[in-house]
Structures are given as structure tokens and as C-alpha cells.
Amino acid sequence: MADNKTSIIISAVDQTGAAIKSAEAGLASLGAQAGRVSGVLSGFAALASATAFGGIIKGAIDAADELDELSQKSGATVESLSAMKGVAKIAGADMEQVAGGLAKLSKNMVEAANGSGDAAKVLTALGISVTDNAGKMKSTDQVMVEFAKRLQNVGSGTEKVAAAQLVLGKSGAQLLPFLNDLAASGELQAKVTAEQAAAAANLGSSTLLITM
């Protein structure tokens, strides 16, 4: 009987040891799989980071390129447009509309300097001169800011709409929220320079030629 009991105990110990070894092997296998999964996930994370970074760079280049094009259309500097872009975003205004308003303002400023045009009457009534103390033509963005601030003193909404349309063209009415925010924004800070925008435009053109 003693031998049978001993045999049973030894057998139980052997089975327990085998179970422990099997469990250890299983854990080791899981650890190896986890390591491989972690490596794959790290690879995907690195790829995602690189893709995201590339997207950010492309977005910045495209934005600077857009400012370069808008500068050519409106006559305003890239620096002033980049500063106004933040205000336009808050006001929900489209930069194409802002550039269009600046282009119309530029034309009206030339007429005002020659003492002609309905816009000249509006600017004069608001106390805005299109030339500085030295007689030189002011920049369109400078006059735009002055116009936005003086427009806040106009009484009725109807008069504001009429004044905005005469000075900035048909898009003047749509630009009123932008003008209100521009008047309250204080000193504008440029975020992109003309050199950066030109470089972005050249890079965009080069990329387009390569892909053609």
C-alpha cells in the first residue's frame, strides 16, 4: 500500500511539474507574440507620425502658396494677408472674399487719390485719407484696417452695408463680420513672409511639373 501511495504522489508531482512547465512555455509564447505585436504597432505609429508630419508640412506649403496667389490678385502684401487670415477664420470669412475686397479697395484708393468715385466720398466722410502725411499712397491693408475701425461709428446697419459695398465692392456686405472682428483685433501680426510664400509657390510649381 505504501508503494502505491508513493507512486500516486510521485505521479501527481510529475503532472504538476509538467503543468507548470507548460504554463511557463505558454507565457513565454505569449510574451514573444506580444513583443512582435508591439513591434508592428510601433512601426505603424512611426509611419502614422511620419505621414501626419508630412501632411502638416504640405498644409503649411499650400497655405503659403495660396497667400502668394492672393497677394498677386489683391495687391496686398503676403504679410498683411497672413495676419488677416486669422481674423477671417474667426469671422467665418473666405480669404478669396477678403482678397477681392482688398482688390476693389485698391482700385477705389487710386480714384480717391484723384478725387473721384463714390468710394472717395465715403472714405472722406469717415475721415480716412488714402495718402500719408508725405503724400504717398497708403497700403491697402492699412486703409482696410482704418475703414474697419471707422465703420464701427456708422449708425445704422443699412448705412454700414452701403458703405462697405461702395468701398469694397459687392462682397462688402458679406465682409461685415470680418470687418467687425478686424476692428477689434488690435495690431495684426504677420505669420508668413513674402519670401516664404514665394518659396512655397516655387516648390508647388516644381512638384506639379514633376508629377506631369
In the chain, the percentage of residues whose pLDDT exceeds 70 is 58
Which of residues 179 and 73 earns the better pLDDT score? 179
Q: What pLDDT band is residue 197 in, cutting at 50, 70 and 90?
A: low
Q: Look at residue 72 in the predicted model and tell me its pLDDT.
A: 84
Half-sphere exposure of 212 (CA within 13 A, CB side): 6
**Which of helix, strand or coil describes residue 78?**
helix
Q: Look at residue 41 in the predicted model and tell me its pLDDT.
A: 45
In the chain, the percentage of residues whose pLDDT exceeds 90 is 41
Listed residue (122, 84, 124) closest to 102, CA to CA: 84
Q: What is the largest CA-CA distance in the chain?
A: 127
Instruction: Render pLDDT for 87-101 as a digit per residue (tens, 0 to 9).
Output: 999 999 999 999 999
User: One-letter amino acid identity for 25?
Assistant: A
Average pLDDT, the chain: 75
Q: Are 168 and 104 within 8 A, CB to CB?
A: yes
Say yes or no to pLDDT of 102 above 70: yes
Q: Look at residue 201 in the predicted model and tell me its pLDDT.
A: 62
Quote the strand ranges of the chain, DSSP E: none
DSSP bridge pairs for 131? 137
Q: Look at residue 99 in the predicted model and tell me its pLDDT.
A: 92
DSSP bridge pairs for 144? none
3 state SS for 144-165:
HHHHHHHHCCCCCHHHHHHHHH
Q: Look at residue 9 in the predicted model and tell me its pLDDT.
A: 42
